[in-house]
Chains A and B, each alone.
Chain A
């Protein structure tokens, strides 16, 4: 998926959302609609740097929840984040791409599944930083509450879900 498609995608997705997320409005989105009905099979491409100790934990979490995950080690993670439109202040240690959406950081698989079902008009969802207790960040040192944030290409940020709710 190239950058141009990604820029156009939110508009198409907002249309999809208008129709309840169930209708394919153009031939280009048929594939996405099909994936949305079976999100567990939607391939995830995850980008991380070689030294990250917790990114692998998130990959395991996604695989345990039925996602097929391609693990890509990159030198310049920032370039990936820029391409996918992740706002700087939402950055975490890894970035993934699923069905055209950016998934930034330790986002629970349940939220990714809901994103693929509901297909809101956003560029992606993010858990900034590395909250203790988030998927891949399970820690004997405790748990921090965290909010999954949705973001658009225009930089609008809104709450997508809260953990704990």
Chain B
């Protein structure tokens, strides 16, 4: 979707590293030529240092039927794939070419929430730039993470408009032989408003969270995923949409789950369907062991309001991508085990977070720009956690560094809320009172309308102020966020 001219412009910006990093077997190289655009441009680290630069700007869209303008990083939506290794020093300069403030969130990374780390309280004004700088721990889990704007009041506009990049951290999981032998494709799932602008008229507005009618994978409509007979495909899925919840199924093939948000799971788990809420990631393996042919990767209908039926504009499965058999290789096996997910210590306390939409004082902190100077807040409909809408200067929850807590997330609303916690990964203990099939590292969990989810989290390593919120970003912008202060013991 990026024009040759834009590519040259991007190169002219002087990136230290540009190019793909993974060596592929010859058969994959031949196959990839037919789908080269499926590989997003990659900005990778070298020699333990990642010098990265993202320019946020508005660009002309080339997606058929899409909006005339997209918000892009380096001329691309989704933005370039960022690829770093555990232990790397990361320096990422964000340049703001938009006409409104923006910033970055390093979704899922275990790095400090302060200073030049995953500090969502930083703001880069129009025309400005800032450098995010941090070191990833040597034992940082390998996984698929997500870099996107987190400017309160504008997050949804900017992500729905097109901003967001996948971030791969290389490490432990990538060294498991069966996983290393698989061919890897990062698939960024993103929906865009159609040029007709009919989306909101059918009820999928900001209150439910905006969905676009155009479904894309890496900015393309129904791209091809080549697989040789006997081959193993590692699909690394990121839901980079504003509000859309994907319910994924691949015709004729189970999706063998090997990693969730925060990295590897203990044992591969074949799934018929995979539900992925905004901000969630999953790594799945697909074995090329069926009759050669074409198989559709489908997005099945999903209702984000449970039994209410709202937000069900689509009642039929839609094709996201097509798996196509081509060539053959000696059959590659699935891994039998992956990386154990350790049980967390017993919780020192349990907190309860009730999510709802309600009439109240709108949490207008930080919203003044978005509201065209309306400012000052006011009564009306918005979202709340425990009866409070987000205020950037109000700490809602104080926890002790090093402590473990259970958080009971209660969705008392008529619509689903994907709950996201920054900085520290958690494990889901129960969902609707039922235990999970195995331990998984998560940073975003879908809490369905009327459902209760118990998660367990240890606040490791990094003191400071951060947030938890609904990752339906329209909901976040309308107050469904709280401030978390991680305090050093004895302070």
Contacts and interface: CB of A to CB of B under 8 A. Distances in A.
A57 B201 CA distance: 21
A40 B356 CA distance: 33
Given A92-B203, A144-B206, A129 B310 contact: yes
A98 B205 CA distance: 26
Nearest to B210: A144
Given A91-B310, A129-B310, A138-B381, A53 B206 contact: no
Q: Say what secondary structure dominates the interface of chain A.
A: loop
A130 B204 CA distance: 8
A92 B310 contact: yes
Interface in B78-124: none
Given A93-B305, A93-B308, A139-B478, A51 B202 contact: no
A130 B310 CA distance: 9
Contacts, number: 117
Interface residues of A, number: 34
Contacts of B307: 76-78
Contacts of A93: 305, 308, 310, 414
Most chain A CB inside 10 Å of its own CB: which residue of B208, B315, B371, B379: B208
B377 interface: yes
Nearest to A53: B358
B357 interface: yes
Interface in B407-427: 412-414
Contacts of B374: 140
Interface in A26-46: none
A92 B311 CA distance: 8
Nearest to B374: A140
A77 B307 CA distance: 7
Contact of A57 (B200, B205, B359): B359
Secondary structure type dominating chain B contacts: loop
Contacts of B379: 138, 140
Contacts of B467: none
Contacts of A127: 203
Given A129-B208, A132-B207, A140 B382 contact: yes
Given A77-B307, A129-B310, A139 B201 contact: no
A164 interface: no
A89 B202 contact: yes
A139 B389 CA distance: 13
Given A128-B203, A140-B374, 7 more contacts: A89-B202, A91-B309, A130-B203, A132-B206, A138-B379, A138-B380, A141-B382
19 contacts: A51-B413, A51-B414, A51-B450, A53-B359, A76-B307, A78-B309, A88-B312, A91-B309, A127-B203, A129-B310, A130-B207, A136-B381, A137-B381, A138-B380, A139-B478, A140-B379, A141-B382, A142-B371, A146-B201
